[in-house]
């Protein structure tokens, strides 16, 4: 091989090596992110990194919109199904105090011993808070101007001997109108409730105005939100 041809071969080999080194450096520069999976090191190219960022951004957007939708749904439910109420007076003491702020859940699904808000039939545009102690099917009887609420019928002999079940509730009637109302009943009719205040010495309730119909009921007390130190569910 002549010296001229040998020089050309050497130049071609040098150019090939230089090109290979450039391609190698280019591939190395493309590896710009590192993630550790266990003990194995995984390299991502710039293209893979951009794809990963797009996926993370998409997931972030989905989570944000999901949480926002849940929040909006919850707010709409609260606006439609709840109401705020202000306690005026001490008729529900010690359970509730004057100026307590309550959250009311609008419902007509009433259970015994629930605290409810309602509008009395004889006082329009007024709201009362009382406790349900009598529901449909309970026996109601008048003895000695007292209202006797029980799950079973009580005879005059049993009453005179005070031989009555432990679950029996005896209430002092406050007004004659209530006596006349209960004298015409043997049991509480469907969709009616007997309510009293926890502070019975200072409460106007079913002992004065009779039974409460479900159409008068605004809802059931859910919780007290003020004052803050007494925040919580009310029973």
Catalytically annotated residues = 91, 130
Element (H, E) at 59: helix 46-81
Two tokens, residue 141: 């009887």
The closest alpha carbon to 177, from 121, 218, 117, belongs to 121
Q: Give the separation between CA 223 and CA 76, rounded to whole angstroms.
A: 19
Q: List the one residue out of 154, 168, 99 whose CA is nearest residue 129.
A: 99
Distance CA 120, CA 100 (A): 20
d(CA 93, CA 198): 6
Residue holding tokens 């306690």?
87
CA 192, 193, 194, 196 dihedral sign is negative
CA distance 18 to 16: 5
What lies within 8 Å, CB to CB, of 36 at 6+ separation is 42
Nearest to 211 by CA among 140, 143, 153, 108: 140
């Amino acid at each position: 091989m002549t010296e001229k041809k040998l020089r050309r071969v050497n130049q071609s080999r040098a150019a090939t090596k230089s090109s290979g080194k450039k391609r190698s450096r280019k591939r190395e520069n493309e590896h710009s992110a590192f993630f550790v999976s266990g003990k194995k090191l995984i390299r991502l190219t710039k293209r893979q990194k951009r794809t990963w960022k797009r996926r993370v951004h998409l997931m972030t957007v989905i989570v944000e919109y999901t949480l926002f939708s849940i929040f909006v749904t919850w707010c709409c439910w609260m606006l439609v199904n709840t109401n705020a109420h202000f306690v005026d007076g001490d008729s529900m003491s010690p359970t509730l105090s004057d100026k307590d702020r309550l959250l009311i859940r609008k419902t007509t699904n009433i259970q015994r011993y629930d605290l409810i808000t309602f509008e009395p039939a004889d006082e329009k545009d007024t709201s009362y808070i009382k406790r349900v102690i009598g529901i449909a099917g309970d026996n109601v009887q008048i003895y000695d101007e007292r209202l006797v609420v029980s799950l079973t019928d009580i005879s005059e002999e049993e009453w005179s001997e005070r031989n009555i079940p432990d679950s029996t509730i005896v209430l002092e009637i406050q007004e004659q109108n209530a006596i006349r109302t209960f004298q015409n009943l043997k049991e509480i009719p469907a969709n009616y409730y007997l309510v009293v205040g926890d502070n019975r010495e200072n409460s106007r309730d079913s002992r004065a105005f009779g039974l409460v119909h479900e159409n008068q009921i605004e809802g059931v007390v859910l919780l007290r939100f003020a004052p803050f130190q007494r925040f919580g569910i009310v029973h």
